[in-house]
Amino acid sequence: MDTFIYSLRKFFQSIPLIFGVTLISFVLMVYFGPDKTYDLLGKNPTQQQIEEVHHQLGYDQPFLTRYFIFFKEIITFDFGYSDSTGEKVSSIFARTIPVSLAVQLPILISGNIISIILALIAAYFRGKMIDKSVMFVAVIGMSVSYLIIVILFQIIFCSSYGLNIFPVQGWEVESFTSYLKYVTVPVLASVFLSIGYNTRFYRAVIVEEITKDHVRTARAFGTHPLKLLFKNILKNSLIPIMTRIIITLPFIIIAGSIVLESYFSIPGIGLVLYDAILTGDLPIIKAAVTWTAMIYVLSLILTDIMYTVVDPRVTLK
């Protein structure tokens, strides 16, 4: 109950933040964003055509009026129709977000589990050969370009030079088997990359914990190393680890991964957003900005709540 009231209060306190973010983004879009008109009319439009389109898109309204319309859209969560395709924004999101999540969630979950395990092992054997090998792989994951990794994985898994067991790209998902067929290689490539960054960060967190007195105490009572790592140390390291994971949620849910989705032709939200930004499809951008801000605030509240779950010394105030 306390948690519920706290969350509600936090959310209401964050409303100005949401409006601030959306206002700033809106100013940027209106004054610096691309103009959709020429995208719709092609080359050499007449002055009259231009004015007509401007009127249709609402570009001829004064800024305040336009922002007021946006304001109303934010409150009603109804962002109208895409300027490019005429499809309802909400149905575009409903169609593409699940696809992105179907790729991103396995990456997030397996990437973090693997990184945490590697980091625990590296930290436990810090300074030894195992640690150095793990960190070597992590640095490779960090420093090699995404493109190269993607191509490498495509060659290894999807070409006749390699195993040739998965399609190079595409997304014709009808069943769980076909889902696995299309999702495996993008997930493997991204997990490899995320391991690089995550393992380094998590190792640093865990090394700090491992030198604490309570770990020495646990060792002095004969605690098994696995229990020491996965119980005593992990729970203490969970706050920075969780913060990092939860803060990436809004970007995963709304932004997906533009690079990944374009290399593998995955029809997710990332590609939609990419096109919308390039062509100035305002309804979609507005919806994305609003949803991102909203989910960001929710993630922050979630981190606060998780703190209290993990650490008894933290209370929600």
Partner 1 sequence: MNNQKLLEVQDLVIEFTTDKGKVRAVDGISFSLNNSETLGIVGESGCGKTVTALSLLKLIPSPPGKIIQGHILYQGKDIVSKSESAMRHFRGKEISMIFQEPMTSLNPVFTIGNQMIDVIRQHTHASKKEAKERAIKMLERIRIPNPERRIDEYPHQMSGGMRQRIMIAMALSCNPKILVADEPTTALDVTVQAQVMAQISELQKKFNTAVILVTHDLGVIAETCTNVLVMYCGKIVERADVSTLFESPRHPYTRGLLTSIPRIREKKLEKLPTIEGTVPDLLHLPVGCRYADRCERVRDHCRLEEPPLEKKDDKTEVACFYPY
Six token digits for residue 40: 């719709």
Q: Is 60 a residue that touches partner 1 (CB under 8 A)? A: no
Q: Is 222 a residue that touches partner 1 (CB under 8 A)? A: yes
Q: Is 313 a residue that touches partner 1 (CB under 8 A)? A: yes
Determine which residue in the list 65, 278, 311, 315 makes contact with partner 1, applying CB under 8 A.
311
Q: Is 130 a residue that touches partner 1 (CB under 8 A)? A: no
- Closer to partner 1 at the Cβ: 42 or 127? 127
Determine which residue in the list 90, 223, 248, 303 makes contact with partner 1, applying CB under 8 A.
223
Q: Count other C-beta atoms under 10 Å from residue 246's C-beta.
A: 17
Piece in contact with partner 1 (CB under 8 A), picked from 56-64, 134-142, 177-185, 210-218: 210-218
- Closer to partner 1 at the Cβ: 72 or 219? 219
Of 78, 81, 42, 24, whose CA–CA distance to 58 is shortest?
A: 81
Determine which residue in the list 132, 208, 224, 265 makes contact with partner 1, applying CB under 8 A.
224
Piece in contact with partner 1 (CB under 8 A), picked from 148-156, 159-167, 192-200, 228-236: 228-236
Identity of the residue numbered 146: Y
Beta strands in the chain (DSSP E): none
Q: Is 212 a residue that touches partner 1 (CB under 8 A)? A: yes
Determine which residue in the list 4, 127, 145, 172 makes contact with partner 1, applying CB under 8 A.
127
**111/196 Cα distance (integer angstroms):** 10
Identity of the residue numbered 148: I
195, burial (CB in 10 Å: exposed 0-12, middle 13-18, buried 19+): buried
**18/173 Cα distance (integer angstroms):** 36
**CB 118 → partner 1: shortest distance, Å?**
22
Q: Is 317 a residue that touches partner 1 (CB under 8 A)? A: no
**54/19 Cα distance (integer angstroms):** 26
**CB 307 → partner 1: shortest distance, Å?**
11
Contact 237, 206 (CB under 8 A): yes
Determine which residue in the list 31, 48, 221, 317 makes contact with partner 1, applying CB under 8 A.
221
CA distances in angstroms from 140 to 19, 195, 310, listed in the order given: 41, 10, 32
Q: Count other C-beta atoms under 10 Å from residue 255's C-beta.
A: 18
Q: Is 72 a residue that touches partner 1 (CB under 8 A)? A: no
Instruction: Return the residues of window 234-253 that contact partner 1 according to CB under 8 A.
Output: 235-236
**194/151 Cα distance (integer angstroms):** 16
Determine which residue in the list 219, 226, 265, 315 makes contact with partner 1, applying CB under 8 A.
219
Applying CB under 8 A, which residues contact partner 1?
A: 127, 212-214, 216-224, 227, 232, 235-236, 310-313
